[in-house]
Structure 1
Amino acid sequence: MTTASTPADVARPPEGTGTAGRAADGAAQGTAGAYLRHAAGRLGGAAVSLLAVLVTSFFLFRIIPGDPVRAMTHGVPTSAEQLATLRRQFGLDLPLWQQFTDYCAKALTGDLGMSYQFRAPVGELIVQKLPATLLLTGVAVLLYSALGLWLGTRSAWRHGSLGDRLNTGVALTLWSVPSFWLGLLLIIVFSVGVGPVPGLFPTGGMESGDGSTGFAYVLDVAHHMVLPVLTLVAVGYAQTLLVMRSSLLDEMGGDYLTTARAKGLRDDAVRRRHAVPNALLPTVTMVFINLGHVAAGSILVETVYSWPGLGGLFYQALSVPDLPLVQGLFVVFAGAMIVMNLLADLLYPLLDPRVGR
């Protein structure tokens, strides 16, 4: 004998369906909430770091020996009244605490002050020099990050082989070489010429200044970029290689790789689809730090090759010292690193859900 179904029985969902749905929704909300808490914490840390950069940039360069006003008027007969007028014009006659509060108030609104030596806004000078730095270091960072990831993966997967020992030895050697020394060496060999090796590349600068346009101008700039990019790549790829190699070696003993091989996956597929993605977290940090260097540039390399970027501008500012320009560049350099590290922290939970829980 069967029992007739009531409307309540018909409307009732299958047992467990509502509970499972609510559990799934709760898990999704919990994951989203954990990520938001993780992001909020990282954003707060970045804000504190930027505030610390502002404080450091002001007081750090105040201890540099030298009087900016006397340096600017060096070799020019200047009376005491004129020196006092210049100090008053640049605000150097104010108490230190008032200089600091004025600097912070302007910096938070994007006003980085007026350069002493160029008599121009610091922000405008940075914008003028930024494209040259982005071009040089951007190309170099892309090249040595890709090269380091590729060689680091191959070295770890074949650790102990001749290729691994050779790659690691070359990387450690180049990592220990000062970039300015390597740059000078490359200039001597490939710009000036040594013995049978002729001078193939310019000794410095970004262009020949011969008035070339279009594709000829692009080739001219690329010709000037070869040695500085080679210097940055030679010194920079080693760190990415060593970090990727170490991280992948830690993953190679994982049980999940043994399971993947037991399923019949080829060795290349195991490395590409399982091992490398799990080894990327430390390398992601390194790549984002390298991207931060794109804005910071390379002071030594740009100075050695007379590259008209932010690194050369920073060197010029230090020689005076041009305090507003030095402080503005320091804030830009440090701010770029903080922002890149923040982006890496926000990306971590997307690559590995265990992070941030």
Structure 2
Amino acid sequence: MTADSTPALAKSADARPGSGPAAAAGPEPGARPGTRGPRARNLRAYLQYAAAKIVGAAVSLFAVLVTSFFLFRLIPSDPVKQMTGGRRVSTQQLAALRHQYGLDQPMWKQFTSYIGDALSGDFGISYQYHTPVIDKITGALPATLLLTGTAYVLYSALGIWLGTRSGWRSGSRSDRFHTAFALTLYSVPSFWLGLLLIIVFAVGIGPIPGMFPTGGLEQGGLHGFSYVVDVAHHMVLPVVTLVAVGYAQTLLVMRSSLLDEMGSDYLTTARAKGLRDDLVRRRHAVPNALLPTFTLMFVNLGHVVAGQILVETVFSWPGLGGLFYQALSVPDLPLVQGLFFVFATAVILANTLADILYPLLDPRVGR
């Protein structure tokens, strides 16, 4: 028997039931029969941590309700006059419209009615479309999820992949190019990039012909596979716009996180064991570097529902972002308030979910 096997035998002997220091000391004081003390304490600490995050999210949602009511009433515009479209309307007719929509009631009564209805899922009737707000939101939601969801998957995968390569080969020509390109795109306003893509690839400039539609979801009148191709054709430019900005942010965060891990002792140990460089990167460095990127991905996941207001407006995309812009121009207070609450709820829930799942990836959090 070699000297190296002695510690292994001692370790295996300690691992057997009824042996080792833990067994000699007996069960942990205060631990119930059949329960492992440290595991129970960890579970209890995690549940308390998760409950605190959920309570905080509920408080934040209520604060959003209150904010959405007062914030959009600061807009210097009369929604009733906007609904008349500039036509000459008598004072009696304006008063009747204000009474119909409850705008002649005291502010405190409007506020209590709004809070009570919103908690039951009723955001009122749209001034502009004369339909329930919730119906307008559910009608525009699929278009937003299609556009931003597709872009989210693409820029998350692309950003993580290129960020890993850039961080692992820091200082190389490829790293300098990708970092400079990502910094440039990250600093470019998304609406400006969208307008530029429309000018170049939709309208056409010089030798480049117009190859894509200037906006919208479909041209209409198509069914089946032709409809799918037409929608995909309309999605190219807005998806490219969202991917360009989103991938740059993900790449920079992933690269920075990986650089922080490069000098860690566990990577030196892994290399000393003879592991190949790509295995050290995939099995050890990347999983730890993904933690900050994981948080960023959940933050961006909330924006998948919230949509991209400017991008959807530039490309006339019939989603929640474009609907919010149209409602804000009236202002259509019930629709604006409902959309604002939906946007904020999506972001808050995504952040809360990230906070709850993060301790499962990094046990140091929440202890």
TM normalised by structure 1 equals 0.94
Mapped partners of 2:361, 2:68: distance in 1: 34
Aligned residues: 344
* 2:119 matched residue in structure 1: 108
Cα distance, 1:197–1:21 mapped onto 2, change above 3 Å: farther
* 2:361 matched residue in structure 1: 351
Mapped partners of 1:333, 1:172: distance in 2: 27
1:330 and 2:340 are equivalent in the alignment: yes
Could you tell me how far 1:100 is from its partner in structure 2?
1.0
Q: Which amino acid in 1 is paired with 2:79? A: P
Q: Which amino acid in 2 is paired with 1:17? A: A
* 2:3 matched residue in structure 1: none
* 2:258 matched residue in structure 1: 248
Decide which of 75, 81, 101 is 1:70's aligned counterpart: 81
Mapped partners of 2:95, 2:227: distance in 1: 47
1:78-124: per-residue Cα shift (whole Å, max 9, x none)?
Answer: 11111111111111111111111111111111111111110111100
Gaps of 5+ in 2: 1-17
Gaps of 5+ in 1: 1-12
Could you tell me how far 1:20 is from its partner in structure 2?
6.3
* 1:234 matched residue in structure 2: 244
Query: 1:159-238 counterparts in 2 under 5 A?
Result: 159-209=170-220, 211-238=221-248
Could you tell me how far 1:151 is from its partner in structure 2?
0.9
Q: Provide the alpha-carbon RMSD of the alignment.
A: 1.4
Report the secondary structure of 1:279's partner residue.
helix
Decide which of 292, 313, 337 is 2:302's aligned counterpart: 292
Mapped partners of 1:252, 1:323: distance in 2: 52
* 2:6 matched residue in structure 1: none
* 1:3 matched residue in structure 2: none
* 2:145 matched residue in structure 1: 134
1:180-234: per-residue Cα shift (whole Å, max 9, x none)?
Answer: 111111111111111111111011110011x111111000000000000001111
* 1:27 matched residue in structure 2: 38
* 2:7 matched residue in structure 1: none
Could you tell me how far 1:274 is from its partner in structure 2?
0.9
Mapped partners of 2:110, 2:25: distance in 1: 63
Cα distance, 1:20–1:159 mapped onto 2, change above 3 Å: farther
1:274 and 2:284 are equivalent in the alignment: yes
* 1:302 matched residue in structure 2: 312
Report the secondary structure of 2:36's partner residue.
helix
Q: Which amino acid in 1 is paired with 2:279? A: A
Mapped partners of 1:20, 1:182: distance in 2: 67
TM normalised by structure 2 equals 0.91
Mapped partners of 1:21, 1:90: distance in 2: 68
